[in-house]
Chain A
Amino acid sequence: MNSLTENGAAATPRPAAVDIENLVKRFDAQLAVDRVSLSVAPGEIVCLLGPSGCGKTTTLNLVAGFLRPDSGHVRLSGRLVDDLPPHRRQIGMVFQSYALFPHMSVLDNAAFGLTVRGVPRRQARAQALETLALVQLAEYAQRMPQQLSGGQQQRVSIARALAYQPELLLLDEPFSSLDARLRISLRDELKQIQRRLGLSALFVTHDQEEALQLADRVVVMQAGRIAQQGTPHDVYFRPDTRFVAEFLGEANFLPVTAHADHQVTGNAGTWQVSLPAGAARGTLMLRPERIALCLNADAAGGRNRVAGRVLGSHFRGASQRVDVQVGDAVWRVTQAGFNVVQVEPGQDVVLAWLPEDGRWLGGEAGRGVGGEVVNASAQVDTAVVTRRPAGSAGDTTIHPATTDA
């Protein structure tokens, strides 16, 4: 089994579990996958995230070998596999429809990958039983798939994929057919197993929450191309385009004009945000949960601020969404936990946010820059401010320049 060594360094650099290079795939005239390149490091979970039709499933099928690329290459653990049929690629795969063999018992399903490799039946069954134990289904070994619930069937499917110890696990929207609670618990189980076994995994989903929670790295796809890739944190807080921003979560977009000294002007005010060189007109993105609802200007302190009027609030269980009219736009604010400020429709409020929580998006496909603050009027020097995790209160930590832009 692959396992990451404790000190994080390997004796010799291990090849990427999956290395996709410039894959192109067309269906009739349609370009389903358009020069996609990415790699999955050993022990890493990478998620392909995007709307239907973006090419994520096609990419997965290209890695599995069910489709042949029109051009480009696929390497598994360093080996070029373009001419290798799926059954020789040593990959495990989990399907959205579970795809268990209805005529075989749970145990035989799990043992299938071993039996076809010539492992003697008794040993195959023993090993399969161990894998079933890994997904807590050992007692169901003699049942038939039709007798199991959806969640259990999917677990058998996972066990079947793991039994022959593949180096790579592919998952095609594995939890989409399950109800919400089951989805979450299976997600956690999967992650535990993956960490324990040190598996590399490439999985496809359209559920951004799933992607953010499961993945070590998220690859956002759009119309056959990669729109952005990065850690969940990166793609969530530092999206490069409006599409990525919107796909990953709720966002406010404000048309603004850039000025010198990292300042932008919108309809309702002037604020500070980190700007790349040559920025002119663009969009300021703000996540609703990074905006504080203040009852007056003083409470806003030294942060970026704008005045508005409450339109209404919506209870969402763990959080509350407040819609605020600012000029001719409606901003969305999310508050939760101990910082909730109760407001009434029609009430005047001040919205405040930290400069580093704003993200500049320059035009449709423009690159955005964020995470730095240069605020001449504050007592902060020109050091760089790193992103801090969501949920913490408004303090600022200053580190030497460790930004990624």
Chain B
Amino acid sequence: MTRAMKRAMTDAPGRSHPLVVMAAIATLVILLAPLAVVVAISFTSGAMLKFPPQGFSLRWYLALADNLEFGRAIVTSLQLAVATAIASMLLGASAAVGLRAHRFPGRDALESFLLSPLMLPQLVLAIALLMYFSRLGLRASFVGMWLGHVVVTVPYVIRMVLVSLERIDPNIERAARIAGAGPVRVFFQITLRLLMPGVAAGTCFAFIMSFDNLVVSLFLSGPRMKTLPVEIYGYLEYADDPLLAAVSSVVIVGIVLLLIVMEKTVGFTRALVQQGA
């Protein structure tokens, strides 16, 4: 059946109930309004966090460029995100492959354990790491933050690679084996190649998760070790000017661009939603 036929055959011709559409639109508004407002305010010429913004100006972006703390925080966040992405990719991909290589006693339990941070309130993890790293002298250090981020992001990578693995037709590998390829060659030349989209999606995800992370970062940060979210959070507590909006807009735009790139290359919505064929 052609794809055109399949599309036409899906359910219920005609329009949805108006209530449904209204609720959907309301949802969309709720989801996007805060972000839109922040971006809009960043261009204000006034000094207040008020919407609609008064006048148009780039002054706050200029102020941002001069702001040392935010600048440092952005750099820290980026460095951290890259380091986390790499580590998570390696650990996560290896975990997924290992969990599917062959069965062994306790495999399911191990899988649940490795994926558990997904269901654990990050707060609990954050305080745990705080206490733990304090004893190890890693509090308020780059390494400490990095390790904390890795714990939080590895499960995502594992999950995305697992999904990718599950999509591989096992007969492909069997065909390669029967044609004479040894298991190592099969793994590197075939399995790994087929996994690339899932690994790539997972790595990008880990990057974004790390960059955005607040809870764990908050507990593990220190006066000279602050990520951007932590810096913004601190600013929120007492300051009240559109500088926040400017830095936030930069983040929003950056992330949206990254997501668009991800969507076009590896289809991150697909990786998350596990859409059917």
Contact = CB atoms under 8 A, between A and B. Distances in A.
A binds B: yes
A287 B203 CA distance: 63
Interface string A90-127: 00000000000000000000000000000000000000
B13 A27 contact: no
Interface stretch (A61-69, A185-193, A265-273, A275-283): A61-69
Nearest to A32: B5
Interface string B1-39: 110110011000100000000000000000000000000
B2 A61 contact: no
A30 interface: yes
A68 B13 contact: yes
Give the interface size class of chain A.
10 to 19
> How would you classify the secondary structure of chain B's contact residues: helix, strand, loop or mixed?
helix
A61 B9 contact: yes
Contacts of A30: 2, 4
Interface string A33-63: 0000000000000000000110001100100
Contacts of A28: 4
A61 B10 CA distance: 12
Contacts of A66: 9
A274 to B, nearest CB: 41
Which of B1, B2, B5, B9 is most buried by chain A, counting CB atoms within 10 A of its CB? Answer: B5
A58 B1 CA distance: 10
Contacts of B1: 52-53, 57
B5 A58 contact: yes
Nearest to B10: A66
A67 B5 CA distance: 10
A68 B5 CA distance: 12
A238 B129 CA distance: 83
A30 B6 CA distance: 13
Contacts of A57: 1
Contacts of A58: 5
A99 to B, nearest CB: 13
Interface of A: 27-28, 30, 32, 52-53, 57-58, 61, 66-68
13 contacts: A27-B2, A27-B8, A28-B4, A30-B2, A30-B4, A52-B1, A53-B2, A57-B1, A61-B9, A66-B9, A67-B8, A67-B9, A68-B13
Given A66-B9, A68-B13, 16 more contacts: A27-B2, A27-B4, A27-B5, A27-B8, A28-B4, A30-B2, A30-B4, A32-B5, A52-B1, A53-B1, A53-B2, A57-B1, A58-B5, A61-B9, A67-B8, A67-B9
List of 6 A-B pairs having minimum Cβ-Cβ separation, nearest first:
A27-B4, A28-B4, A27-B5, A27-B8, A27-B2, A66-B9
